[in-house]
Amino acid sequence: MGASAKKKIASQLIQEIADFPPLPDVVQAILQASSDPESSVADLHSLVEEDISLSSSVIKLANSPFFGLSREVSSLPRALTVVGMEEVQNLVIANAMFQPFKEFNSKKDRLETLWDHSFRCALTAKLLAPRFCLSSSECFIAGQLHDLGKILVIMAFSNQSLAKIYPEGVAISSHVTSEQELLGVTHDILGARLVRNWLFPEKLCMAVGYHHRPEKATSHHEFCHVVWLADTFTHLADEEPGSASSQALIELLLSKTAVQRSAGFGMDMTPFLVDELLHDIMEVHDSFK
């Protein structure tokens, strides 16, 4: 494709960011309730109980290994108390981001796959956060939003074109290369513009914009590195153990530059640690199935 055609596609995609739906009302309402010191779990309960999928996510989270409870939590009020305001806020944002697009039946499978990957990346980032002394809540949201730019691409192109942009059976890391080749812009750049448009904190804009190239981030380097790790481990958890793609991801995590970056943030990444983390990550992912 010629350079001017690519430039046109890229600028059309960037233009679409301006027309992207604003944050849904329920997000605004819950963000307000969560940040208001006067609001109680009861206020949150009335907002959450209206949404069945959100209620079930809160109950699943309360029963996940994160909270390590010995007794099962089955009621929403109890789950809200266990999980807390901040975590509920995370789940609401996570659910709501994808809500406006669930109507698009022709793209349903792609959007669901993206939602599933994003949610599992959020869980992974949350799990990794304490090892870097970062806020697990912020890491969760960054993990959830990191591939947001792909929604723009999915909504802008036909399934036929998408099959070329995101061919089946190729390493997920090559998505960025094919986006660059076919569209002249990549989903990390598009996602960062989108969250900037929504006036999200700079930290999140950086993590979204640099989740494939954390070494290029101009600030919040550790945060971007954790989101890169979370994304890479999430893909690794999807791969058949011992397969070529699984091996390639392990090599990426243990590459000289990645090990140096991890070490710079206090994590001594070894084959043993990769195994250990992968085990813990898969356990958390499984608890949400």
CB 104 within 8 A of CB 111: yes
Give the integer Cα–Cα distance in Å for 253 and 121: 15
Which among 19-27, 84-92, 230-238, 256-264 is the span making contact with Fe ion, rule CB under 5 A? 230-238
**Which of positions 102-131 make contact with Fe ion (CB under 5 A)?**
none
Q: Which is nearer to Fe ion, 8 or 213 (CB)?
A: 213
CB 110 within 8 A of CB 162: yes
Structure tokens at 102: 């669930």
**Which of positions 181-200 make contact with Fe ion (CB under 5 A)?**
none
Least distance between Fe ion and beta carbon 25 (Å): 28
Give the integer Cα–Cα distance in Å for 49 and 44: 8
Least distance between Fe ion and beta carbon 18 (Å): 22
Q: Which is nearer to Fe ion, 51 or 231 (CB)?
A: 231
| H-state helical runs in the chain | 3-19, 25-35, 41-48, 52-62, 76-83, 85-98, 108-128, 136-145, 148-156, 159-165, 174-183, 187-197, 202-209, 221-238, 244-253, 256-264, 271-287
Does position 179 bind Fe ion by CB under 5 A?
Answer: no
What is the C-alpha radius of gyration for the chain, rounded to an integer number of angstroms? 19
Q: Which is nearer to Fe ion, 138 or 231 (CB)?
A: 231
Q: Which is nearer to Fe ion, 212 or 261 (CB)?
A: 212
CB 233 within 8 A of CB 124: yes
Least distance between Fe ion and beta carbon 171 (Å): 12
Q: Which is nearer to Fe ion, 25 or 168 (CB)?
A: 168
Q: Which is nearer to Fe ion, 45 or 225 (CB)?
A: 225
Least distance between Fe ion and beta carbon 157 (Å): 17
Classify burial at 229, counting beta carbons within 10 Å of its beta carbon; exposed 0-12, middle 13-18, buried 19 or more: buried
Least distance between Fe ion and beta carbon 146 (Å): 6
Which among 103-111, 142-150, 199-207, 272-280 is the span making contact with Fe ion, rule CB under 5 A? 142-150
Q: Which is nearer to Fe ion, 87 or 147 (CB)?
A: 147
Residue of the chain from 145, 147, 152, 209 that contacts Fe ion (CB under 5 A): 147
Least distance between Fe ion and beta carbon 172 (Å): 7
Residue of the chain from 231, 253, 267, 269 that contacts Fe ion (CB under 5 A): 231
CB 232 within 8 A of CB 249: yes
Least distance between Fe ion and beta carbon 153 (Å): 11
* Rama region for 10: left / alpha / beta (φ>0; ψ in -120 to 50; rest): alpha
Q: Which is nearer to Fe ion, 138 or 147 (CB)?
A: 147
Least distance between Fe ion and beta carbon 160 (Å): 22
Which among 60-68, 132-140, 159-167, 229-237 is the span making contact with Fe ion, rule CB under 5 A? 229-237
Helix (H, G, I), strand (E, B) or coil at 169: coil
Question: What count of other Cβ atoms lies within 10 Å of the Cβ of residue 70?
Answer: 4
**How many amino acids of this chain bind Fe ion (CB under 5 A)?**
2
- Contact residues toward Fe ion (CB under 5 A) are 147, 231
